[in-house]
Structure 1
Amino acid sequence: MFFDSLDVSYGEMWGPHRGMTHPDPMSRAVAARRHAVGMDYAVLLSARERPLALVEYWPRRMWRVYLFDDRSWRMQVIDLEPHSTGMLLAARNIRWKFSDEQEHSSGNWDVQQTTTVSADGQVEVSSAFAGPRGALHALAAGPSGVRVRRFPAPVEDFLCPVPEFGDWQVFAPFLAQQGHEPARTVVLSDVSVDEGSGPLRATGIEQLFTPGACGTPDGPAVVDSVDAGLLRITSGQLAVSDPGWIKDPRTVAVPPGEFPVTLSLLRTAHGAGVAAARVMFLDIPPREWEMALRPDEDLGLLGEGQFYGVGVDTGTAAFMDATRTVIEDQLDEDLFMPLDSQFSVELPSTELEPNLIAFRAGRGDGSYPVWIGRTDDGRVGCVVVDFRLHCADGGE
């Protein structure tokens, strides 16, 4: 394909996505802010509504380039690493050949050629051949033969400039490796993306704890508010974390004392789940909500509907004092097994430490927003972790 212009759009990291547009688009402004702080994002370069290259910006100034052929098949990936010259080195270049569209869709290549280049220009080219595929081989495609060549080459042949944000013409020469022909001058045109309402906002949080009927995408449901016990805070720091991994919790400064924990249960025809959990510090309705952030987190780096949240890897979250520790060997018996038959569990106080109240995460593993409800004078009235089983404002 000959091209003299490229449409530019931005989004989250591409990963295994094989579509023709960003699965999670973002505005140019958000991408620029991410670039400035070294945070990952992706750039899609297209011509005539067909993807030609997808460029990912990784932390530590690394780049990855996916290349597409005239059929819009992803046929190549190039990893670019910082080089001592101040440029980028194409340290690894993988190309594939597929017998047909079905094999491409399933990732069953016929040939995979991998070229690696060292910082001083030592090149290794490895060609793997999948060979004939039977039923079993199609499920676990692997090479039946590998050929390797090694030789020195001028390292300059594998270098390219480090792009400033928006200087995506730097990657245009790579497109020739998939048969695309750039004009002498390539014009870049940004695809407009609506800024929208920005990061996720707290809407209807109070309604999550209001008993009664509600609607969900899966049909009618009922909200129950359930007492989960009193949480003891001694250090003035509330921690919200997966109890199986509390080394880096999300913390909120709160007063010391004992405070009630309440679960919002969402009951549907399919069963019941914990929709949200709340710890109350003041019996005063919040006037405003804010996302619980770490010092290095910036809302300006988030796209439409995104949030910073507590990570869950055991299907469980917990409220605790920031000084509380756990004995991992006892978690199965004391916490995870009881949660198989109940919605919350308290690990009682020890002689030196306050208690911990754990509860099931409504959607299981994932990341969930933590909201701080503040009063008129700025005090923390409550902290809520929302498992997003339903939206109290009626949205999905």
Structure 2
Amino acid sequence: MIFDSLDVSYGEMWGSYRGMTHRSPMSRALAARKHAAGKDYAVLLSAREQPLALIEYWPGRMWRVYLFDDRSWCMQMIDLTPHSTGMLLAQRNTRWQFPNDQAHLYGKWDVQETTTVSADGQIEVKSEFAGPRGGSPESSHDGASGPSSVPGRKFATPVEKFLCPAPEFGDWQVFAPLLTQQGHESATTVVLNDRSVDEGSGPLRATGIEQLFNPGACDTREGPAVVEPIDAGMLRITSGQLAVSDPGWISNPRTVAVPQGDFPVTLSLLRTTHGADVAAARVTFLDAPAHKWEMTLRPDEDLGLLGEGQFYGVGVDTGAAAFMDATRTVTEEQLEDDILIPLSDSHFSVELPGTEPEPNLIAFRAGQGDGAYPVWTGRTGDGQVSCVVVDFQLRSAAGTEEDVVTDGAIAR
């Protein structure tokens, strides 16, 4: 393809996803903020509705470029790292050969060639084959035969051949020369056209969190349902720090400064014709309504780096979440015998007691399973913590279906 302009759009990192558009698009302004903060994002360069390059920005000023051919097949991956000259070094260049569309779709290459370049220009080229080299096409895809390779070639060459400028944000013409490696040809001048999405309303907002605990009938994506608040016990806080975490991964929980003492925990059950799930969990510190709600953040998290409907939340890998004092620990035996086994039976919550006056832990089922869920801190008009709520997003406060959002920035 000969191109004189490139359409530019932004989104979350694609990883191994083999598509032709962003799965999670973002605005140019958000991508710029992520770049300035050293956070990852992706840039798609396309022409005439065909992808030519997907560029991923990684922490540490590293870049990864996926190149597409005229069939819109992803045929090449180049990793670029900072070089002592201030430029970027194409440290690793991987090319693939695919026998047909289906093989490409599932990443089943026939040949993979990888060129590695050291900082001083030492080159190594390695080739791998899906089956024994020299075998028939049928044998090359025989799982029993396994992949094969040939000895790598090593030689030296001027490192300048593998350097390119490190771009400022928006200077994507820097990567245009790489497109020639897949047969594309650029005009003398290449114009960039911004095709990014609008900024939108920003991160997920806390809307009607109190209503999640109002008993009575409501509508959900599963049909009619009934909200039933239940008591889950008293949580003891001794350190002045509430922790919210998966009980199996409590090394880096979300914490909130709260009073010391014993405080009630309430679960909001959502009962449908399919059964009951925990829709939300709340620990109450003051008998006063929340004047405002704020997303519970870690010190290094910035709401300005979140896209439309995104949130920083608690990650769940064991199917359970928990409220606990920040000093509380859980042994592997306790996790399995005293938390996960009871929760897998008929229990919606379980208490892991502490020896007086040590803090306890109250764990509960996490909605419909593993995922990422927002944690909201409700504060009174004078800034005191009224309550902390985990919303498992099974319903909206208005009782209508709620869009599922992903947390691209989640860190447990």
Q: What TM bracket, shorter-length normalisation? A: over 0.9
The aligned residue for residue 358 of structure 1 is: 363
TM-score (norm 1): 0.96
Q: Distance in 2 between matches of 1:263 and 1:334?
A: 19
Alignment of 1:197-346 (within 5 A): 197-341=201-345, 342-346=347-351
| Letter of the structure 2 residue corresponding to residue 381 of structure 1 | S
Instruction: Rate the CA distance shift 1:138–1:212 in 2: closer, same or farther, 3 A.
Output: farther
Question: What value does the CA root-mean-square deviation take over the aligned residues?
Answer: 1.8
The aligned residue for residue 40 of structure 2 is: 40
1:379 to 369, 381, 384: 384
1:176 to 170, 176, 180: 180
Q: Distance in 2 between matches of 1:141 and 1:200?
A: 50
Structure 2: gaps (5+ residues): 403-412
| SS state at 1:31 partner | helix
| Pairwise CA distance, 1:156 | 0.9
| Pairwise CA distance, 1:146 | 3.1
| SS state at 2:39 partner | coil
Q: Distance in 2 between matches of 1:286 and 1:133?
A: 68
Structure 1: gaps (5+ residues): none
The aligned residue for residue 99 of structure 1 is: 99
| SS state at 1:239 partner | strand
Alignment of 1:18-167 (within 5 A): 18-131=18-131, 132=136, 137=141, 142-167=146-171
Deviation string 1:239-272 (CA, Å, 9 cap, x unpaired) is 1011111111100111111111011111222222
Instruction: Rate the CA distance shift 1:290–1:136 in 2: closer, same or farther, 3 A.
Output: farther
Q: Distance in 1 between matches of 2:222 and 2:156?
A: 61
| Pairwise CA distance, 1:135 | 9.9
Instruction: Rate the CA distance shift 1:332–1:85 in 2: closer, same or farther, 3 A.
Output: same
CA contact (8 A) 1:108 1:138 kept: no
| Letter of the structure 2 residue corresponding to residue 305 of structure 1 | G
Q: Distance in 2 between matches of 1:218 and 1:17?
A: 30
Q: Distance in 1 between matches of 2:208 and 2:80?
A: 45
CA contact (8 A) 2:267 2:282 kept: yes
Deviation string 1:351-391 (CA, Å, 9 cap, x unpaired) is 46211101111132221110011122221111001111222
Instruction: Rate the CA distance shift 1:250–1:103 in 2: closer, same or farther, 3 A.
Output: same
Q: Distance in 2 between matches of 1:145 and 1:237?
A: 56
CA contact (8 A) 2:26 2:196 kept: no
| SS state at 2:60 partner | helix
Q: Distance in 1 between matches of 2:88 and 2:144?
A: 34
| Pairwise CA distance, 1:201 | 0.5
Q: Distance in 2 between matches of 1:141 and 1:163?
A: 44
| Pairwise CA distance, 1:327 | 2.0
| Letter of the structure 2 residue corresponding to residue 255 of structure 1 | P
Q: Distance in 2 between matches of 1:2 and 1:140?
A: 43
CA contact (8 A) 1:211 1:224 kept: yes
| Pairwise CA distance, 1:144 | 3.4
TM-score (norm 2): 0.92
| Letter of the structure 2 residue corresponding to residue 268 of structure 1 | T
The aligned residue for residue 4 of structure 1 is: 4
Q: Distance in 2 between matches of 1:328 and 1:19?
A: 40
Q: Distance in 1 between matches of 2:140 and 2:113?
A: 23
| SS state at 1:335 partner | helix
CA contact (8 A) 2:25 2:196 kept: no
| Letter of the structure 1 residue corresponding to residue 362 of structure 2 | I
Instruction: Rate the CA distance shift 1:141–1:334 in 2: closer, same or farther, 3 A.
Output: farther
CA contact (8 A) 2:110 2:140 kept: no
Q: Distance in 2 between matches of 1:5 and 1:363?
A: 46
Deviation string 1:54-108 (CA, Å, 9 cap, x unpaired) is 0000011111000011111111111111112211111111111111111111111
| SS state at 2:105 partner | helix
